[in-house]
A and B are shown apart, each in its own frame.
Chain A
Amino acid sequence: MMSGQKNISFDALVVGGGIAGGETALNLANNGFKVLLIEKELSIGGKMILLSKVFPTLDCAACITTPKVSEISRHTDITIFTGSEVSKITKTGVNSFEAIVVKKPRFVVVEDCTGCQLCEQACPVSVRDQYQFDLVGRKAAFIPFSIASPKAAAIDIENCVLCGACEKACPTNCIDFTQEIEEYLVKIKTVVLATGFKLFDPLMIPRYGFGLYKNVITSMQMERELAPTRPFNTVLRPGDGKVPDKIAYVLCTGSRDASVGNPICSQICCMYSIKQAQLLMGTLPMADVTIYYINIRSFGKGFEEFYQQAKGMGVNFVKGKIGKISEKENENLMLRYEDINEGIVKEAEHDMVILSVGVLPNQDAAKLFKTEELKLDTYKFISQSDALESPSKTSIEGVFVAGTASGPMDIPDSILSAGAASSEAMSYLIRNK
């Protein structure tokens, strides 16, 4: 199913609509350049829009992301394709690239959808909700999440049983099963890669029991439990719905660990764990929170003070790497670890364990280039060809990198990296006018 290829042209192609890609698109558009922003998910906003609050200021993530997202989506010089992927980029000259963009059908006419959610209520199919990191279910006809942009329904065609209930329920007739894949040939002058990162999958470390023990969850799942748009409206352990009162964080899950193929530090986990611990102390004042760490890396502006604040609030910091987690009959968890300060092996019981999962490269971008080589570094992040003088330059002239696509970084650093990529892309556009 494919209609004919459409030709469109822009000044810049930004691949990835997370916080770095969005910031880059805005910077370029605010200086008069026309931008095509491609996002593979159904909403822009990336991982940040799904977070609870952000360190070290404890601003709510939505409060910062939603207005940015709104500004991006309203900007007359930014065109956004969600649910879309770039399949190929070819360099055709000094300041000319051609990209093939594939827009997958949403089966909903976004402009007509009012976000009323009647289709969700009508849909008989329940599947796990990827935007709540599998904590709860959603329907096959669904609005991705309440602050999504665009806030419009989509049909998950993989799981849809084609019963037609949503079509009947829709008051604006915006559901359209005849939509097909659209392919675009996009001519652009520069490309910014803001393809972000992937989270480490803790199934890779079987001794932590993720997937086996219900009360071992990832930090991203806890992030959802703490977010304003949280699935349960409180913090609870998924095993039995009990409110936890002895919570453990396992730092460096999948980071600084050559045995899982990721020897480097993920740069964000210490801080987001400390932040979650602070939020948990607020939400569950009676709960004990323990953070098991190798080194606490609170290096940024205001970070060390934030760490000291957590200590002052009573968060318990234990220097020690967790060896093994096992489950008791009451679904509590036993953590076996070396207490490095005391130099002995200990065991501790917790009723919920959060694995602070690390940052892995998203290697999708490398496959886009067929005629040129987009170099990756040792760890498979996009290689910075001149890391100190021009951190956003890649191995291909005219292709720039923004945010975590080039390595782990936190939100402030991602935004500054996006500022740098914007600057380099603008210089390139102006120089080769």
Chain B
Amino acid sequence: MKKKIGVYICHCGGNISDYVDVEKVRQAVEDEGGVLLAKTTMFACSDSNQKDMVDDIKNYNLDGVVVASCSPKLHLTTFRNVSERAGLNKYNYVHANIREQASWAHSDDKTGATEKAIHLVKAAIAKDRFAESLESNVINAQKAVAVIGGGIAGLKAAMALSDMDCPVYIIERDHKVGGRVAQWGALFTTNETGKDLIARLHKELISSENVIIFTGAEVIENKGSIGDFMLKVKIAPLGEILDVNVGSVLMATGFDFYTPEDGEFGYNLINNVVTLPDFKEMIEQGGDKLMFKGKEVRNIAYIYCVGSRQTEGENTYCSRYCCTSTIHTALLAKKKYKGIYNYHFTRGVRTYGKQEALYAESSQQGDIYLQSFEDALPEVAKHGDKTIVKINDILSGGRELEVEADLVVLVTGMVPRADNSVGTLFKLPKGRDKFFNEIHMKLRPVETVIDGVTICGTCQGPKNIMESVNSALSAATKSFSYVSKGVLETEPIVALVDSALCTWCNACSEACPFDAISMAPEGFGSIAVINNSVCKGCGMCAPVCPTDAINLITYSNREIEGMIDVLANG
């Protein structure tokens, strides 16, 4: 049992100290058993405080450290590293969260928040008394990366990995690579065509020895974990199955276009209502006149935010690329065909950054911009053989305006892939918008909670091409850093089976969400064995064990019971 624990209570600027009396917390815990020193600090994570902690650990020979601050998701690693730098095994560090769990949650009750913080810190101290030094598991990392999805993001990530001398497998479901971008003509803002852009990238890729491209291919099985993923890839049309062994998986599975519902702005009811991708194709394929169903098109009405920023539907997010894409496409139409009039029915144009220049150009070219009120979207209706788009227009002082359109283009946004089987296979978490979710938008923007699996491009959320490529390169950097050294350290916090108590009833294996538990013969019977590199230490197995044969390292009964005693009794 520890006798020299150092406790640090963080103000977090005012994030904690505005609601929790941190000095009172400090006084309440300084005489707890095993505590040698207790201090408060403005920012525990700041460089200067980290240095002070290192000095304390060395000078006072601390055998345990507790920091009471924000969520461990943010700074558990930070403070473990502080311990390690001071020569104290990092698993002697215990984190108490008094921000998300006290100050922020109880900002209406300062006394209660302070009381709760005191309990939480005391519980952390109770746990730390029995904390043990542990060593990380060191595993071999296969120096190869599987890139799932061969669109612009996947191809670019593969190219970057190949340039870093890392073998790459591109696994593309379609019969050819290039994804959406390969289908497009001139792109904003460089005006290079999508076909050329993909061709350029493809040429580089096929000349690289490090890259193997599988098309018509699908991952059908995923076993293993970071450093050693064992994938089964099924190749159409023969159904041949290949084994692919990689250290990291990079997801670049892209998006689906939103499909309007029948009748949504006349879609599928009125014959000259199309979507933006349909329209892009028309412009690409068209001859010297823009024709639709035998009629020449002159007046085009673009209805923005179809399937995005929905007040009633599920897609509350902005699809980010569509304003600029529409304006760019409308300009192309005008340049290619004579006598085109573009009418933009917007909800506020979002040509952010330098894309603003396109909006300005379009306005100069005479495109008409209208904007609807948020509670009164434009209406598309058939009047005889005419298609009329009606709007209550903000920009002309709320006037009701009508445009007779030869073609109505619904600017459809991005939605997550309807077929999420590959996401399910890797157990990737999704955000509220149903796209794959990163761990932290700013600290770990391309990493997922599944170690070794990175995400990039539009499978993570709407992005334009440049943004997709930036994220693809970031993900390549991250995936590379997992595999580049050939070895990896993983958390030693895993489940531990007491073979004397285990009777192999299969309950733990069924409870495990990561398939980390399997059966192995032991003596005359069988017991459960844990695959340490797959086990995430989630603890699902421990409570279901009828013989109490499973313990989670760092969450032993005496640690947990110590915490419960303090929380229950104060």
Contact = CB atoms under 8 A, between A and B. Distances in A.
A178 to B, nearest CB: 27
Interface stretch (A63-71, A157-165, A206-214): A63-71
B442 A27 contact: no
Interface in B345-379: 348-357, 360, 373
Contacts of A92: none
Contacts of A64: 74, 442-443
Given A147-B46, A431-B163, A304 B356 contact: no
Given A265-B351, A295-B348, A407-B354, A304 B318 contact: yes
Contact of B13 (A57, A62, A69, A115): A62
A379 B360 CA distance: 14
A280 to B, nearest CB: 15
B523 interface: no
B115 to A, nearest CB: 23
Interface stretch (B141-149, B475-483, B507-515, B548-556): B475-483
A194 to B, nearest CB: 14
A297 B13 CA distance: 30
* Contact-residue bracket for chain B: 35 or more
B200 interface: yes
A72 to B, nearest CB: 9
Interface stretch (B252-260, B268-276, B464-472, B526-534): B464-472
Given A66-B47, A299-B350, A430-B163, A305 B356 contact: no
Contacts of B309: 304
Contact of B480 (A31, A342, A416): A31
A146 B197 CA distance: 48
Interface in A128-153: 146-147, 149-151
B255 to A, nearest CB: 13
Nearest to A68: B443
Given A67-B75, A228-B14, A426-B477, A391 B48 contact: no
A416 B398 contact: no
A115 B484 CA distance: 39
B216 interface: no
Contact of A391 (B14, B395, B469): B469
Interface stretch (B86-94, B119-127, B185-193): B185-193
B294 interface: no
Interface residues of A, number: 81
B349 A419 contact: no
B320 interface: yes
Nearest to B104: A58
B78 interface: yes
B154 to A, nearest CB: 14
Contact of A296 (B47, B70, B348, B462): B348
Given A60-B15, A66-B45, A389-B156, A305 B397 contact: no
B461 A228 contact: no
A310 interface: no
A60 B356 contact: no
B160 interface: yes
Contacts of A264: 353-354, 356-357
Contacts of A290: none
B55 to A, nearest CB: 11
Contacts of A150: 47
B394 A388 contact: no
B445 interface: yes
A388 B187 contact: yes
Nearest to B74: A63
Contacts of A379: 354
B50 interface: yes
Nearest to B85: A74
Given A147-B43, A303-B318, A430-B164, A419 B442 contact: no
A157 to B, nearest CB: 24
A66 B43 contact: yes
Residue of B13, B348, B360, B477 ringed by the most chain A CB atoms within 10 A: B477
Given A66-B46, A228-B13, A408-B353, A59 B394 contact: no
Nearest to B347: A295
A63 B465 contact: no
A411 B189 CA distance: 22
B220 interface: no
Contact of A389 (B13, B74, B200, B443): B200
B316 interface: yes
Contacts of A267: 352-353
Given A265-B356, A388-B187, A426-B164, A319 B469 contact: no
Contacts of A387: 189-190, 466
Nearest to B353: A267
Given A66-B43, A304-B316, A263 B360 contact: yes
Interface in B1-45: 11-15, 42-43, 45
Contact of A73 (B47, B318, B350, B462): B47
A152 to B, nearest CB: 10
A297 B321 CA distance: 12
A146 B48 CA distance: 9
A265 B353 contact: yes
Given A412-B441, A419-B470, A423-B477, A343 B13 contact: no
Interface string B467-507: 10111111111101100100000000000000000000000
A265 B352 contact: yes
B445 A415 contact: yes
A388 B469 contact: yes
Given A299-B352, A340-B395, A69 B442 contact: no
Contacts of B164: 423, 426-427, 430
A26 to B, nearest CB: 10
Given A413-B470, A416-B474, A340 B394 contact: yes
Given A265-B356, A297-B348, A391-B469, 18 more contacts: A64-B442, A64-B443, A66-B45, A70-B45, A151-B47, A266-B353, A298-B350, A299-B350, A301-B317, A301-B461, A302-B433, A387-B466, A392-B473, A415-B474, A419-B471, A419-B475, A423-B480, A430-B163
Q: Which 8 pairs from chain A and chain B are nearest by CB?
A: A228-B13, A419-B474, A343-B397, A427-B163, A420-B473, A423-B473, A70-B47, A295-B348
Interface of B: 11-15, 42-43, 45-48, 50, 70, 74-75, 78, 85, 156, 160, 163-165, 187, 189-190, 192, 197, 200-201, 309, 316-318, 320, 348-357, 360, 373, 394-398, 431-433, 435, 441-443, 445-446, 460-462, 465-467, 469-478, 480-481, 484
27 contacts: A57-B442, A59-B74, A63-B12, A63-B45, A70-B46, A73-B47, A147-B48, A228-B43, A256-B356, A263-B360, A300-B318, A302-B431, A305-B432, A387-B466, A388-B466, A389-B469, A391-B469, A407-B353, A411-B442, A415-B474, A419-B470, A419-B473, A419-B474, A419-B478, A422-B474, A423-B160, A427-B160
